[in-house]
Amino acid sequence: MPESPFDEDSTAEEVTADIDLSGKLAVITGCTSGIGFETMRVLAARGAYVVGTSRSLERAESACHKVRGLCTPIALELADPESVVQCAEHVRSLKTPIDILVCNAGVRGGGNQPVLVNGIERHFAVNHLGHFLLVNRLLERLYLAWQGRIVVVASRTAYRDAPDNGIDFDRLDGSGRYRDREAYGQSKLANVLFAYELGKRLRGTRITANALHPGVIDTDIDRNLNPALRFGFRILASVSGKTVEQGAATSCFVATHPSLGATSGKYFEDCNAVRIADNPHMQNDALAERLWDVSAETMASHMVELRRPDWSEFENGLRRPGENREPIDSEQAGNE
Ligand SMILES: NC(=O)c1ccc[n+]([C@@H]2O[C@H](COP(=O)([O-])OP(=O)(O)OC[C@H]3O[C@@H](n4cnc5c(N)ncnc54)[C@H](OP(=O)(O)O)[C@@H]3O)[C@@H](O)[C@H]2O)c1
């Protein structure tokens, strides 16, 4: 694919200049700080109606208040499947197609003793499984958009720090030798493989799914690192890192740029799709399929069965007039 006109210095405002998002709905997880807040701010400034999530409704409200534009705060704890379901139901109650879903929220660090969430290691549970379930519960609304985009904020730690075998399915409970750096890398590889597999499963639809590395940015993501690592991360971010405005650029570019309407299953860095040729896992079909199956099995009791809309009912994105068909579900009747 052609090189984009943007690079590591581009900001979220620059990559969205001239893009009008009026009438579009964007959902962003983890809107209260860092990259998620800047992504929400810029998408709202371009006219999108934004739903921003946080574990704390108060924090989400406060973040939304700081943004010029239309924002709705919703509570979401990605570690809790019930919270994910409730968040998705809240979004669905807006009765609006979803144009952009940015899976941005994330957790990193915590020490070399695993923290378990429902028996699953926390990085994997929050960064991957929570978003896996959220996408499942919201996908139907992305189908209804003119061109839905799923953007998964991963990290280059996916190919730098993940275990040698990519995803260590036998140790998702954190058993055996545990290092939080490796666990974070594994969860970010899961982010990349999820977008890759989604890209394949959504072929033939108008929904795209892509993953990205935002850059190294001094945000609250280091809050769980030990003081030495925190210091090191801050030095690295100040020497070779990006500002938050630059850090949100790749998310905003992948979420909105007209040149990417048919680009799916890719991994981006610095506003360009890149292929990490010397890594065996980043585009590994068997690993991505297995990750999908294991994730679906783990979240089975909270997932919904997905049906593709019958496009023969639509003409230019609108249901054909005068045809007496049942809506896809009762709630969607309000969208017609
Ligand atoms: N900063 C970097 O250098 C860097 C590099 C590569 C990738 N990334 C990725 O970029 C994304 C954004 O990170 P950031 O740097 O902007 O970090 P951040 O400032 O710490 O923001 C993380 C966001 O995630 C939310 N969050 C944390 N735990 C959550 C949970 N259990 N359930 C739901 N929401 C949760 C937080 O909201 P509340 O605390 O209000 O709930 C916060 O809004 C992450 O996925 C991260 O892995 C960052």
Res 170 pLDDT > 60: yes
For 78-127, what is each residue's pLDDT tens digit? 999 999 999 999 999 998 999 999 999 999 999 889 999 999 999 999 99
Relative to beta strand 120-121, strand 116-117 is: antiparallel
Tokens of 119: 């028996």
Q: Residue of the nearest CA to atom 8 in ligand 1?
A: 155
Take atom 5 of ligand 1 and give the residue whose Cα is closest. Answer: 216
pLDDT attached to residue 183 = 97
Ligand 1 binding site (Cβ under 6 Å of any ligand atom):
29-36, 54-56, 59, 76-79, 104-108, 126, 153, 155, 213-214, 216-217, 219-221
Active-site choice (49, 143, 159, 178): 178
> Which ligand 1 atom lies nearest to the CA of residue 184?
47
For residue 262, give both structure tokens: 């048919």
Taking CA atoms, 192 is separated from 117, 187, 296, in Å, by 22, 9, 16
Name the residue of 76, 103, 191, 221 whose CB sits within 8 Å of the most ligand 1 atoms, as the mutation to test its pocket. Answer: 221
Per the annotation, the verdict on 184 as an active-site residue is no
Query: Quick check: 118 and 129 in contact, CB under 8 A?
Result: no
Q: What is the pLDDT of residues 5-42, one digit of tens each?
A: 999 999 999 999 999 999 999 999 999 999 999 999 99
